[in-house]
Structure 1
Amino acid sequence: MKSVLAETAGKIRSMEIRGAGKIAREAVFALKSHAESLDDQNSSAFITKMRSAGEVLLSTRPTAVSLPNAVNIVLSGMNGEDDTGEIRAGIVSRADDFIERSNSAVRKIGEIGARRISDGDTVLTHCNSQVAIGCILEAHRQGKDIEVFATEVRPRNQGLLTIKTLNDAGIKTNFIVDSAARYFMKNVDIVVIGTDAVTVNGSVVNKIGTSQIALAAHEARTRVMVAAETYKFAPKTLTGELIKIEERDNSEVLSPEIAEIMPNVTVRNPAFDITPAEYIDLIVTEEGAIPPEMAYIIIKDYLGWKIGDFDRDF
């Protein structure tokens, strides 16, 4: 039987577990379960095994900054001078606290973001972001008459999950192909998206196609609001580190049978792109709404990273 750690890592890698927030919560739960399963009495050995567990999780999705932030929060408090029981208890406590705060953040962001959606607005959303959808659902719960355009999100079709949620909530929804976003932008009042990472200059890394939608919105003078928990901000971009953009397997785009008869064709399948800060009007976090150029404040004041932390993963 697979351990919770191995099973979670496999599911994150295969995208059975998806969405930056859910990835972070599931990874933290896996670390907690792993800590509880280890019977090492030697504190150094215990810490080494927990750091190895963190590395296993970090290797699964290189772009989702929520993952290293979550691992850092849970494992950074390990102290070799403590006995194993104290270290384990600290990990369990930090993990439980992270999961609780993460779930609370989704609710708070929904409440704050809904204030920016007006009665009668038409909203466009891209991908399947729990926090972005939470803003739309909360606006609907408040009795605002809204309509949504949701993209299909090729090649993995996460938009199907989005339209199911919106449909079940009774929200009038239009399902469109990704390339139709510019065509319908003239009908849209606000774009509401999530993100996998926010850099120090306020640029956001989100599902491939987001930057094109933001560019179309900028041209059409349509507002763009990003919903992001604070643990999606990328501390290492303070020192100039670039976020690695993950490329997925070519089988997501072309079947192996078709690819085999086209030896001169290379499939490029980036999972994310970067949207410049100048195309974003507002970033909504559980701590409040900020303009993108103030992203550094979240990194400085809420994530607890120090300059000396940047040469390690956690």
Structure 2
Amino acid sequence: MSEGTKPETSQLSNKELKELKKKEKAAKRAAKKESIGIKPDSSQRRGGDKPKTASNIKKQINQSKTQSESLKIPPLFGHLETREQRISSTPPQLANIVHPSILTLCLKYSTFKIVGSTHRCQAMLEAFKDVIESYKTPEGTSLSRHLTGHLSHQIEYLKSARPLSTSMGNTIRWLKQEISLISIDETDEQAKLILAEKIDVYIKEKIEYANIAITDSTIQHIVDGSTVLTFGHSQVLLHIFKHVATELNRKFKLVIVDSRPLFEGKKLATELSGYPNISCQYVFINSLSSILQEPVDVVLLGAHAMLSNGRLYSRVGTALIAMSAHKRDIPVLVCCQSIKFSDKVQLDSVTMNELSEGQDLLTMGSKPTKRNGFALDQFLKEKRTEKEEESKGKKNSNNNNNSSNSVPLTKPEDPLANYREIDNVTILNIMYDLTPPEYIQKVITEVGSLPPSSVPVILREYKGNSSNS
């Protein structure tokens, strides 16, 4: 090469020099791959766009559908995951290693056959017992090392149905710690028996015995002729009301406040309506102000979680009831097991919450929403769109005069049925809200009654006992 053809590197800028070096490196790599026998086209395909196969195109369509559906959420809650986003983010390979009990439990979670943090936690432990019983340790490793990873895959699949509750998270951490403490010298059968026994003891101590202890501390607030107000459904409150009516033979009036779309209070009213000592009154939350005009002695509430700053994280509507009762000087008591205590700090119900289907709020009936599984929902949506396209084609071919008329978006008996197609309509269905500690008189746990400000003390004792055990 002559001197006139050489690039004048001294006159090039730094940016141009970098681009020149990149091109030289790329040319060297291409020449090296050609000498090995790899074609340049295949190497470019690996680094560039993926081939447009049918599976990739279908995956892109599903992702675009999920993104378009997430746009129907108000921007303030846009950071919360929808059910479609949880499903799409779950690796499909997990379905091959998930236990059948976990698959069944996941379906019950997603269709709200199992509701309530305590009930969900207990059902999860029973499913984990099945997983541990059918587990086989691979060669070259031990149960205490491999089983935690195997359980993590089951937990990831459970998250695709609904986010884990606080009690479930605390229980999972406890179980993984117990697995890590199992000796390597133990055989698989011995280790499985030990873990199954520990799970049974955990259910008895943290759930069943805890309910009994909370009941003993709460019964003093329900006397003959008193009026008690509660919201939704709680397993520990159900135990308290049954104990007062049957064991103590006290007569009292129970006002059950309920809300759409789950109608959890109906379950509580159904289970307690057969007790002669309990006079049940079932109302919707929109009539709360009228109900509180009548004399109410105490408000008993369940909990999804108690946060370390003393705030109550529970079913949406709880904060309204606590605030209304506090304004009328009615004591508000929260019954909560220690496994629901969380060291998280939350100031509002926006940063962390569970986003449910907006379609559930459009159900105008008085029965709880019956939800299909995710796969069935997707199948029904595809069939519905196919039928709509066929009906549009038939109408256009039969009557050209009416081709300019748009197909009605809704039916008269089901308004907003196709709300996703309306640009200026968004529907928000959050599951929980946050109650400030000043609206709560005290929290009743299995270790005693305490003010909301003492939640960190219980957390320290709980962690200390779990580490010592």
**TM-score normalised by L of structure 2:** 0.60
Gaps of 5+ in 2: 1-97, 364-409
Assess if the C-alpha contact under 8 Å between 1:214 and 1:279 holds in 2.
yes
Q: Secondary structure at the match of 2:163?
A: coil
Post-superposition offset of 1:71: 1.3
Find the counterpart in structure 1 of residue 81 from structure 2. Answer: none
Post-superposition offset of 1:81: 6.3
Aligned with residue 332 of structure 2, among 224, 231, 237: 224
- Which residue identity does 1:115 align to in structure 2? Q
Distance 2:171 2:451 in 1: 24
Aligned with residue 26 of structure 1, among 99, 114, 123: 123
Aligned with residue 259 of structure 1, among 414, 417, 439: 417
Find the counterpart in structure 2 of residue 47 from structure 1. Answer: 148
Q: Within 5 A, what are the aligned runs for 1:168-187?
A: 168-170=274-276, 171-186=278-293, 187=295
Greater mean deviation of Cα atoms: 223-232 or 254-263 = 254-263
Distance 1:251 1:269 in 2: 9
Find the counterpart in structure 2 of residue 310 from structure 1. Answer: none
Are 1:215 and 2:323 counterparts?
Answer: yes
Find the counterpart in structure 2 of residue 293 from structure 1. Answer: 453
> What's the % identity of the aligned pairs?
24
Q: Within 5 A, what are the aligned runs for 1:127-146?
A: 127-141=232-246, 142-146=248-252
Post-superposition offset of 1:243: 7.5
Number of residue pairs aligned between Structure 1 and Structure 2: 304
| CA-based RMSD | 2.5
Q: Secondary structure at the match of 1:76?
A: helix
Q: Secondary structure at the match of 2:113?
A: coil
Aligned with residue 222 of structure 2, among 100, 112, 117: 117
Assess if the C-alpha contact under 8 Å between 2:245 and 2:251 holds in 1.
yes
Post-superposition offset of 1:62: 2.7
Post-superposition offset of 1:120: 2.1
Are 1:99 and 2:203 counterparts?
Answer: yes
- Which residue identity does 2:241 align to in structure 1? I
Post-superposition offset of 1:58: 4.6
Greater mean deviation of Cα atoms: 211-220 or 252-261 = 252-261
- Which residue identity does 1:190 align to in structure 2? V
Distance 2:463 2:161 in 1: 22
- Which residue identity does 1:252 align to in structure 2? D
Q: Secondary structure at the match of 2:310?
A: coil
Q: Secondary structure at the match of 1:115?
A: helix
Find the counterpart in structure 2 of residue 162 from structure 1. Answer: 268
Post-superposition offset of 1:207: 1.0
Greater mean deviation of Cα atoms: 166-175 or 218-227 = 166-175
**Which has the larger Rg?**
2
Greater mean deviation of Cα atoms: 43-52 or 269-278 = 43-52
Post-superposition offset of 1:134: 2.1
Post-superposition offset of 1:218: 0.7
Assess if the C-alpha contact under 8 Å between 2:254 and 2:279 holds in 1.
yes
**TM-score normalised by L of structure 1:** 0.88
Distance 2:226 2:191 in 1: 50
